Structure 1
Amino acid sequence: MISLLVIVGLLVAAFVGFNIGGSSTGVAFGPAVGSRLVRKVTAATLFTVFAFLGAWTVGRNVIVTMSEGIVPAAQFTPVAGVGVLFFTGLSLLVSNIYGVPASTSMTAVGAIVGLGLATGSLDEALMFTIVSAWIVAPLIALGIGAVIGRYVYPQLDAHLSFTRLERQLLQIDRSSRFPRVRFNKNASLRDLVGSALVVGIACYMGFSAGASNAANAVAPLVGNGTVSIDQGVLLAVAAISLGGFTIARRTLATVSDGITDLPILAALIVSIVGATIITVLSYYGIPASLAVSTTCCIIGLGWGRASRAATLAELAAPSPAE
């Protein structure tokens, strides 16, 4: 018979996954929604599919790190596991209520670190590596965004400029007897290509979010043997999906419109940089924040575009005196 504590653990894990979906869906698909490419429901659907793929593949490495690397698996007793998950979910719920993108990985790892300090079982060398990644990854994202925005963006915009659509790329035509899906009639071929790239990269971000964040919801349960890694992935993605279809709407609004006005090209750059950084770290089993890295890239890109002085081509060109 399943004990009451196990049931509570599963419910709390689902609660954490629910809040992860609320935060990560906005971070992954905020640029695509802000560029009027997809609706929020479509974003949640795509995020669920690709988060599952990420969690089922690369995400296993992160689950192993968080379930037995930071502290030994034996430390995740049923009570300790529920406590770690509860405080992780509570912190994420507060951030989602206020529509602020939160670092699910930092929150979950912080709770596990607290357990490790309390029991004297923390792997300090591994934590040094993880914290170093937390510092370096956002700085890399910020720097890449700033350099591209300040020196490269004008050249990219000249060759790859896309229109910020006033209405979604895919629309439902109800003029005939049976509704049918059609492309926005105001979109050019270049807009269609750019839109496909942005949505594709957003799906890539969903993959990286699943790879990094599934562990945050189920690592304590995997550590104490309540669920296997496969079962944990399914539980995490189901809960993440529910959060993506419900409370993610506020975070989507914050990331898509509240930080900076993203044209399609800028959304494409932000998505590529954020997803690549997190996917690489997840491959090495390091839990990292997609929210922080992506937000830093958005800030860097916005600052670079606003303060642009010259492009790289202009800097490399010889002066008239030469």
Structure 2
Amino acid sequence: MPEPLLIFALLIAVFVGFNIGGSTTAPAFGPAVGASLVPKVVAGGLMAVFFGLGAATIGRRVVDTLGQQVLHDSSLFTLESSIVILGLIGLALFAGNRTGVPASTSMTTVGAIAGLGVASGELQWATMREIVFWWVVAPIAGFAVSVAIGYFSYQRIADWISESSSNEPLFALDQSGTIPSITVTSSQRDELLAGGVVVAVGCLMAFSSGTSNIANIVAPLIGGGVLDMSAGIVLGSAAVALGALTIARRTIETLGNEIVELPLPAALVASTVSGVIITTLSLLGIPASFVIVATVSIAGLGWSRTLRSDDGSNGRIRAPIGDGGLDPAEARGAIASKNDSSEPELEFDPFESARVLTLQHVIPIVSTVGAYAVFSVAPVY
């Protein structure tokens, strides 16, 4: 019979995965659910499938980095130290929920493991320098790419999505048969394409979350030999799936009240940029923060719209070269009508962006200091 400490460690890992599934499904598929493209249960199912796919493929590299390469001696990941590390990750998720600012689970995990490494004198500084280097480069890259997209292409993306969207569901869950299946309910080509892009971006986010977050759930247990790689990935993916199919329904509803403040095109661009960057870093074995890259991507999009305003364009509607057959008064009326549409404007608040980014970095620092303090006083490794 497994010892109680082992059962406790596994339960904490499941708890972390459960909360990751509940918190990451909403940003991944909130736009698709909010646009009535898929029901919440389908969103949860897609999250479970694509997270597991990312974890089982690229995610192994990140697990190996955290479990084997951050510390010189992976045997430091005892059941006791793993419980402390996973507990700090759980506290980070809780703190993020309480402050309304999503915490960086990956940075918190690395910070906790680094605290163990410093306390024990076994930290691989070369690996930490490489990780921190990419932590600096990734947000800068996300910001720069988002600024470029926002300045040059955002309006065309927004117009295409607006013209191709409808209030009808794109996919539905068919439960008439023995095995439930997903059916396509729309027959319009442009509508299918636009809706498919929204859902595909959600799947990309779920996949990139799997590549990065699986390590935050099971890396200490795998590094310490408590679980092998395959078993750890199955356990972590199952825990995320449970969260995605249960508590994520509520977080999607909560996010639905906030997603109105962020236009759908902006959510898609930020998600795509962040997903590609995080997946690329995972291929390199680098644990990176999706929420921080997404935050700076949204900030980059917002700042690019202020640049368009400065150069004489409000970023939402540009007057045509000709009058399109309308007299000047009618043309002005048409433009004003489009500008007064219900679609929210993408705005940039530098102070709010700075507050969010500051809090997102403070929590991992607290995790590092806390782990160092705990392992210095009680060397349970």
Structure 1 length-normalised TM: 0.84
Hey, what does 1:82 align to over in structure 2? 83
Hey, what does 2:35 align to over in structure 1? 35
Query: Structure 2 counterpart of 1:64, which letter?
Result: D
Q: CA deviation at 1:112?
A: 0.9
Hey, what does 1:95 align to over in structure 2? 96
Residue 116 in 1 paired to residue 112 in 2?
Answer: no
Hey, what does 1:229 align to over in structure 2? 229
Which of 1 and 2 has higher RCO (CA within 8 Å, sep 6+)?
1
Residues 151-177 of structure 1: CA deviation (Å, up to 9, x unaligned)? 222344456654554454335799xxx
Paired residues of 2:42 and 2:173 also in contact (CA < 8 A)? no
Paired residues of 1:96 and 1:247 also in contact (CA < 8 A)? no
Q: What is the distance in 1 between the residues matched to 2:165 and 2:30?
A: 14
Q: What is the distance in 2 between the residues matched to 1:255 and 1:307?
A: 28
Q: What is the distance in 2 between the residues matched to 1:251 and 1:142?
A: 26
- Equivalent positions of 1:258-273 (< 5 A) are 258=258, 261-273=261-273
Count the aligned residue pairs.
304
Hey, what does 1:104 align to over in structure 2? 105
Residues 1:32 and 1:134: Cα distance change in structure 2 (over 3 Å): farther
Residues 1:160 and 1:2: Cα distance change in structure 2 (over 3 Å): closer
Hey, what does 2:336 align to over in structure 1? none
Q: What is the distance in 2 between the residues matched to 1:240 and 1:104?
A: 14
Query: Structure 1 counterpart of 2:238, which letter?
Result: A
Q: CA deviation at 1:254?
A: 6.0
The DSSP-based 3-state class of the residue aligned with 2:204 is: helix
Q: What is the distance in 1 between the residues matched to 2:137 and 2:251?
A: 25
Q: What is the distance in 2 between the residues matched to 1:173 and 1:85?
A: 39
Residue 125 in 1 paired to residue 126 in 2?
Answer: yes
Hey, what does 2:378 align to over in structure 1? none
What 5-or-longer segments of structure 2 have no aligned partner?
Answer: 176-181, 314-381
Query: Structure 2 counterpart of 1:248, which letter?
Result: A
Hey, what does 1:183 align to over in structure 2? 185
Paired residues of 1:99 and 1:251 also in contact (CA < 8 A)? no
Query: Structure 1 counterpart of 2:219, which letter?
Result: A
Q: What is the distance in 1 between the residues matched to 2:290 and 2:215?
A: 14
Residues 1:128 and 1:250: Cα distance change in structure 2 (over 3 Å): farther
Q: What is the distance in 1 between the residues matched to 2:6 and 2:174?
A: 49
- Equivalent positions of 1:99-248 (< 5 A) are 100-157=101-158, 161-163=162-164, 165-166=166-167, 168-170=169-171, 183=185, 188-248=188-248
The DSSP-based 3-state class of the residue aligned with 1:227 is: coil
Residues 1:224 and 1:114: Cα distance change in structure 2 (over 3 Å): same
Q: CA deviation at 1:99?
A: 5.3
Hey, what does 1:66 align to over in structure 2? 66
Hey, what does 1:50 align to over in structure 2? 50
What 5-or-longer segments of structure 1 have no aligned partner?
Answer: 175-179, 312-322
Paired residues of 1:100 and 1:251 also in contact (CA < 8 A)? no
